Structure 1
Amino acid sequence: MSLSDPVLPGHHPAPHLVIRSQPIDGVSAQLMDHLPQTGGLAWVRRGDGHVGWGVAARLDVAGSNRFTEAQVWWKDLVGAAVVRDEVRVPGSGLVCFGSFGFTDADPSELVVPEVIVGRRGGTTWVTTISPASSLATRPDLIRHEPAPVGEVAFADGSRSGAEWSGIVADAVTRITGGELDKVVLARDLIAIASQPIDLRWPLRQLAAAYPNCWTFSVDGLIGATPELLVRREKGLITSRVLAGTIRRTGDDAHDLALAASLARSSKDLEEHEFAVRSVADALKPHCKSMNVPETPFVLHLPNVMHLASDVAGVAANGASALGLAAALHPSAAVCGTPTDTARDLIGEIEGMSRGRFSGPVGWMDAGGDGEWCIALRCGQADPHDPTRMRIFAGAGIVAGSDPEAELAETNAKLVPMRDALGD
């Protein structure tokens, strides 16, 4: 799929917008300081990225054609837009934020904010987006201070830990019986706060604690993900694959020994190989040439270590960043191998709706460049109760998986969101 996809019967008309990006000086060092209390959008890594608020245009889609419908809508919106970009860096000009559900039935959306504040390589800018009939003026940028979440209790979500371990054991039996090679199973917890959760608080906590991850906020889905599904920038396509995880202890010498054991673990190397192969196979039709590492490296994060591989390629066609994300989703890192069998098994035994957890989340510009990550280490605000949030984690299950060890892995992956909701 690409920006040239044909119009579908479910085509959604796009509005006519006027966009202006201007460089600015003297703004706060932290992009997220400018987010209003509600409706904020964010995509930040190592202090760079962009935040936005307001809604100039929005598309809500679901179903098996959701990615194609979104690309058609974006192409129409870009074609009708009037853009004055005085910055001309990735992320300036017309930009949309988006997140997509794990399954066809889960809701997905693209959002074009009214205001974007961006930063890249020492350049900071503001973008205003408005209907052609109502030209916007550059806003005054105000620093906002979020409220701490206060007391938070955590309760079992769709399954208890013991029940989830039983599901893992069932999956291992099916794998050893030859039904499939790998399946990724997820679980959730419910965070219950003593007062309404100001999403800016956990966002700032995540950005500070995990600067090398992509901290995001789209329509109540917030998190700090370490896994880049795909980036397209000036003809270069990149994807970071993570599969195989071990929890850190806080003791540097011990963690180095654990990293070495992870790099030698046949179970984790097997899981990682499935994930890398699925990404390489999906990207190959869109690349003139590719570099697929033969062995992974160990990515060190504050709470866990992952086996990681960076797959890169030179773009061969006009596929947009979103089109590439659609081709990759769902990868073996969040679904399994073979994909269809794993997806069916997830629907049969996982026992919950993932929503947008483990789906693509990211942004794209008018030229089709952008970044889409996998929505991991994240939580979804409850739209009906502002004191509640679902937080998620998953683990890749292969023939050598131990249910208790996989439960411990998910507990480690829940740490970022649990800590971010604390004081």
Structure 2
Amino acid sequence: MGDWKIGDDRRRRSTDQLRDLDRANDGQVFWDTEAPADFTYLFHPDHVLVGAEDVEDFEAFAARLDKGVLAEPPRRDDVRLLGGDLVRYVLAPRPGGESVPDVLALLERDGLRLGAATPDHWVHVSPGGGGGGQACPATEPEETGLTEPWPPVAPQDEGCEVKVVVVDTGWNPPSGSDGRTPWLKGVDGDDELNGPDLRPYAGHGTFIAGVVRCLAPRTEVFVEGFAVGGVGGGGILESEIVGQLEEAMAHHPQVINLSAGCRTRLDLPSLAFARFHRRHLRGKDVVVVAAAGNDGWAAPFWPAAFDWAVGVGSLDRDGRVSSFSNYGVSADVYALGRNIVNAFPDGTFVCHESPNKGDVRVFSTGLARWSGTSFAAPVVAGLIARQISETGSSAADARDAVLARAVYDSDPVIGPHQELRQPYA
């Protein structure tokens, strides 16, 4: 296919990230463009997701397809998703080489309702680059000489306990008992199994849990890991992350932080996230805070773009919207996301993305500096949790109160006592 890494650093980074994700998932990551740096969404090469009420139509239209496209009917996967509300099919090899999006386009041409069936998209915590469909962070972690977090710990003497679940890459247990990061005492989660050689995305969930705890010290935080042990290269399929979200709900959270997401085919709402909301969140007092993504554009990034999620974009230290931050429908509010400092595992990290590929970074202070909408999201999640704790309000009322403190601005600029910004409607 040639060397698609030619171009600016953003395109090279996108290509590096995508190649890494594909290798970590045994070549099961496909994209919608020839050059990987230009992709808008990622998908499994054989999976199709269908809502339960559209199963009969999908199977009927698939049966009518030319046998040169589908030599065999789609096989219904035996994985039970969302209590059967979501069905995953596996397409047999296509003699003509049609991709999943090609097959869906043919079905829709013949009359299948648009959105009834979708690819199984890859949800990822990868940095943003020159391509699309990426989440966070915007940089690889950097060493810092600082000994305190930023934003700093906001002391809180009184208030009820609030439950927050961070659905992310897992938890670094040593950080919870490290004297250098006392704000993480009592945090628990799925052990991400770090060693002296740190994998890509190691510490991502721990760092986010630390940001939440700094803003809201009286929170019970659990890190639900979807890439424990480095499995998946920081990515997970739509059809699989809903299971992790169901596990998160078993902890009875009032706030869920998800610093990951995806673009989708035709920018249609993510079917898996929509079904999770319908089954588990509708009528429940749970607020989902999601990163808006780091591609610097306005296309919808799911789940942040849903009206039931609080999508968070990033501000620089000077209060302006970060150059990497998504905006538009995915960003309901902006918070500090550039050069955040918080807990990080000790160890050696070798950068794997251009232009720093091969750079060796040694972490030995229990902290790191990191940037991205990944880290702006837990600022907002922490503020909502603190509002619940201090007022005893519902999660929904706390969300509304926190968002009401944001100032509307076409180009958000932060002031000394103004934490959040909203774009003009």
Task: Give the TM-score taking structure 1 as reference length.
Answer: 0.27
**More strand per residue:** 1
Q: Greater RCO between the two (CA within 8 Å, min separation 6)?
A: 1
